[in-house]
Structure 1
Amino acid sequence: MSERDAYWWQAAPLTAERPQPVAPACDVAIVGAGYTGLSAAITLARAGRSVQVFDRLRPGEGASTRNGGITSGNLRLSRTEMVRRFGEARADAVLAEAKAAREDLYAFIAHEGIDCDFRLTGRFAGAATPEDYDGLAREAEHLHRSLGIEAHPVSRAEQRGYIGTDYYHGGNVRMDIGGLHPAKFHAGMLRLARAAGATIHGETAVLGIRPEGTGHEVATARGTVRAGHVIVGTNGYTDAADRWLRRRLVPVRSRIIATAPLSPNLMGELMPPRMMYTETRRLHYYYRPSPDGTRILFGGRDGTVAGDPNWPTANLRRALADIFPTLDGTEISHSWFGHVAMNRDMIPRIFGRRGVRYAAGYCGSGVVWARWAGQKAALQVLGDGAGQSALDFRAPGFVPLMNGKAWFMPGVFAWLSLQDRLAARRTRRRTA
């Protein structure tokens, strides 16, 4: 296995399976065999519908087996910004749905017996500046007061009980977030979908979808299918077969590095409670211990749009050493990336067009949102009132000059990096 392969594939390798015949008709065709598509397939097949799932890659080869495995269900926008954009009622409904989506994920894993190394560890968020600490303290108070989530601020004097660094100016802890093994989780979902009767077609690209009578005609690389309904869950891997959707999603590379195994004593010093971790920098990083507690997995935005150059790995290595100086020079065993999908609303979305249901745009928090949104889209197809969602209100707007490649990301990456450097410089001056 190459060092460029995802660390997760060691314990849950992807496989190319024997092709199954493509049926000429089915009740529902699903595009994408990641968390979104498999969640929809499980829901529909268990309801007695005939389901075929198509993926251009091997099932799960996209972000579903490349992500950090942190069950955050993050929302990029603050409540204040969501109220400004969408109104108070929808903002509060989205926040409540994030809590429900996390709880539903945990119940799903337990009820279905999915062995994916899930642990409800809690998460520490580090404040990059003293001002950020004030914001994190207010956030913890809001989570506890409004949503009943166990959360509290952590002062700088207390933070070494949670993380072995003086890099941050305190932070907060919330206990409703944990970690899982994303590739094992996907493998469990794949098993459930097949057991329910869904047919999964890996390495079978969908070439186009068009209305046909009361349903749709789905052209694939291995034949045409007539489907009563279509659900699209391609997210950051949307290709030119759906140009309309491609103009509404911005695929952004998120890269993760894995350290070589570290000693138990060092892991205990750096991550005492073995939590999940994030921070408040504009170009923020997320990190965690590996499920076996022997490595640190450290991720952030990549900043590239083509090829696989070495500098993003070097950038993550430097950022890791900034937080944990004792890891400067530590061997990196793996470096890989996957595509997350942003949208102009900057919240996960469910929407429809010409009878096709879409679930996409998870903004880097798909571990929780993708399974939830896929399930909701499937319930909507079934006409089940439980499919109602605060995420479903209109299609996100198109992104000008967007053609499937986020050509502007290097400039965005540089701008955010500059903002972080200036903020750090101001903080050093004030605290000197």
Structure 2
Amino acid sequence: MNASDVSDKNTPYWWEAAPVRPLPEQPVARRLDVAIVGAGFAGLAAGLMLARAGRSVAAFDAMRPGEGASSRNGGITSGTIRPDFATMTKRFGEDKALAVEQEGKAARAFLYDFIRSEGLDCDFQLTGQFKGALGFDQYDRMARSADRLAKALGVESYAVPHAEQRTYIGTDFYRGGAVRMDIGGLHPAKFHAELLRVALTSGLTVHANTPVASIRREGDGFQVTTSAGTVQARQVLVCTNGYTDGAAPYLRRRLVPVRSRMIATEGLAPEVMARLMPKRMMMGENRQLGFYYRPSPDGTRILLGGRDSSRRGDPAAPTLRLRAGLAQIFPELEGVRLSHSWFGNVAMNRDMIPRIFEKDGVLYATGFCGSGVVWAPWVGMRAAHKLMGHTAESPSAFDFRPPAAVPLYRGNPWFMPAIIKGYAVQDQISWWRTRR
């Protein structure tokens, strides 16, 4: 079976309304205050801040700007941190764990204010998020976590018992869940296009299809060699995340690209959408290979995503897995026609926490671990302020040591299919236990 037998298109659904476009070619400046590698959410947010502060700054992207994860993700403003509070406390101490949690609240507030104040047309809606529990033990843990969030950070967060679940989602698949009202959804390709628009207007130069070949220290600055020429930059910021290549070998040993795939259903009847997603919330769950899903911004279809372990073989298999997951949650959608199936790379690190760090004078803003809608603009903005020397009084909780290198890894994630299969086995065992 081919991918075309399962879905109509293998390009992102988001590109229908906001296609990723090339930019006009322009000469590379011989000298810059700041050279940025990558023109996704993080690179553009940083470039915008720097340009508005009067710096001469250019961003270099190996593809069309936004062609990577920025226009391929689910558009959910979750700002998820993969390790839970207890794990972060054990690993980094309670002060760091609490600072990370508090910064998540600040990052969402920054994003929402930025969209509003800049007038970005990106279909943003603060809908709230429902996360389903796979068993009653998991529900109890989620209920305690929701209560802690509400008390410690003032986040509107509460448990939803199984008896009230259908008020939020039209399924009996979960055993209750929890809601956070500080999470919403946007159209990621529109958001990137709007961010690009205001960044260019503010004076940022963006070079599309211009990969960086090398970054070399030279005197008090750097020599940045690109496919369009060499530039002397006083400072360099790398924001490549899941598409990091040989231009940043130190970073590449610390970030593992993980393929994430999404599907979009064909248009569904209004009464079906009203029954399955009555509050139009963003949705998630707590499986190792859990799905995230949401209504489209116009409320006419469901978009669902999850990890994709494929590197070769049947191109339809990952799409079929996602469609089966959709039918497991919503049995009435079994066999539903899919309009789109696409994938992109997210980037994981050994701490599973976003990061700002410096190595040999180069600053890195990266490692968003699948939650870049919130973290990439925030970390990019904070990195820009660090380059300008503005962070002494309020350093970011993500500004600390580099993540550890992954042993025996140099950019080819050959081990990911085995890891994802292991997670699948864990999910099957957990599922069996919850249903006994």
| Alignment TM class, shorter chain as reference | over 0.9
Pick from 165, 190, 193 the counterpart of residue 187 of structure 1.
193
Shift of 1:427: 2.0
Q: 1:4 to 1:387 in 2, by over 3 A?
A: farther
After superposition, the C-alpha distances for 1:256-308 in whole angstroms (9 at most, x for unaligned) are 00000000000000000000000011111100000000010000001123577
Residues 129-183 of structure 1: per-residue CA shift (max 9 Å, x gap): 1111011101110110000000110011110000000000100011000000000
Note the C-alpha offset of 1:30: 0.2
1:9 aligns with 2:15: yes
CA contact (8 A) 1:270 1:324 kept: yes
User: Is 1:30 aligned to 2:36, yes or no?
Assistant: yes
* Distance across 1 between alignment mates of 2:325 and 2:127: 23
* Separation of aligned partners in 1, 2:364 and 2:312: 27
The residue aligned with 2:351 is 345
2:67 is equivalent to residue 74 of structure 1: no
Which one is further off, 306-315 or 83-92? 306-315
TM-score, structure 1 length as denominator?
Answer: 0.98
- Corresponding residue to 2:26 among 20, 23, 29: 20
CA distance, structure 1, for counterparts of residue 252 and residue 368 of structure 2: 14
Q: Find the partner of 2:113 among 89, 107, 111.
A: 107
Partner of 1:249: 255
Matched, 1:380 2:368: no
Matched residue, 2:3: none
What is the rounded CA distance, in whole Å, between the counterparts of 1:243 and 1:387 in structure 2? 30
SS of corresponding position for 1:57: coil
Aligned to 1:355: 361
Residues 74-223 of structure 1: pairs in structure 2 closer than 5 A = 74-223=80-229
Match of 2:305, SS state, is strand
CA contact (8 A) 1:304 1:409 kept: no
Tell me if the contact between 2:130 and 2:283 (Cα under 8 Å) persists in the aligned partners: yes
Residue matched to 1:320: 326
Report how many residues are paired.
429
> Which of 402, 408, 423 pairs up with 2:415?
408
Q: How many angstroms apart in 1 are the aligned matches of 2:135 and 2:8?
A: 38
Alignment correspondent of 1:392: 399
Q: How far is 1:425 from its partner?
A: 1.5
Deviations 1:316-358 (A, max 9, x none): 0000000000000100110001111100111111100111110
Out of 301-310 and 189-198, give the one that drifted further: 301-310
Q: Is the 8 A contact 1:25 1:226 kept in 2?
A: yes
Secondary structure of 1:241's aligned partner: coil
Give the one of 47, 56, 62 matched to 1:50.
56
C-alpha distance in structure 2 between counterparts of 1:243 and 1:227, whole Å: 19
The corresponding residue for 1:417 is 424
Q: Distance in 1 between matches of 2:78 and 2:275?
A: 24
Cα pair 2:288 2:423 within 8 Å, conserved: yes
SS in 2 for 1:157: helix
Offset, 1:387: 6.6
Matched-pair identity in %: 59
Q: Distance in 2 between matches of 1:183 and 1:361?
A: 20
Aligned residue number for residue 62 of structure 1: 68
Q: Secondary structure at the match of 2:264?
A: strand
Paired residues for 1:281-292 under 5 Å: 281-292=287-298
- Distance change (3 Å), C-alpha of 1:267 and 1:83: same
Kept in 2, the 8 Å contact 1:205–1:220? The answer is yes
Aligned partner letter, 1:220: T
Is 2:263 aligned against 1:264? Answer: no
Name the aligned partner's letter for residue 416 of structure 1.
Answer: Y
- Report the alpha carbon displacement of residue 403 of structure 1 after superposing the two structures with TM: 2.0
Uncovered stretches (5+) of structure 2, i.e. residues with no partner: 1-6
Give the structure 1 partner of residue 377 of structure 2. 371
Instruction: State the AA in 2 paired with 1:31.
Output: V
Amino acid at match of 2:381: Q
Contact 1:257 1:334 in 2 (8 A): yes
Query: In the alignment, is the contact (CA less than 8 A) between 1:305 and 1:405 conserved in 2?
Result: no
Letter in 2 for 1:25: R
What corresponds to 2:246 in structure 1? 240
1:128 aligns to what SS in structure 2? coil
Does the 8 Å contact 2:8/2:338 carry over to 1? Answer: no
Question: In 2, distance between residues paired with 1:119 and 1:378?
Answer: 27
Q: Which amino acid aligns with 1:412?
A: I
Q: CA deviation at 1:2?
A: 7.0
Report SS of the residue matched to 1:218: strand
Corresponding residue SS for 2:149:
helix
Partner of 2:4: none
Distance 1:56 1:306 in 2: 24
- 8 Å CA contact 1:378–1:387 kept in 2: the answer is no
Q: Deviations over 1:172-197 (max 9, x none)?
A: 01100000000000001101111111
Q: Are the aligned partners of 2:8 and 2:339 in contact in 1 as well (CA < 8 Å)?
A: no
Distance 1:74 1:308, change over 3 A: farther
The offset of 1:372, in angstroms, is: 0.3
SS of the counterpart of 1:90? helix
Q: CA deviation at 1:412?
A: 1.3
Mean CA deviation greater in 398-407 or 278-287: 398-407
1:417, distance to aligned residue in structure 2 (A): 1.0
Counterpart amino acid of residue 338 in structure 1? G
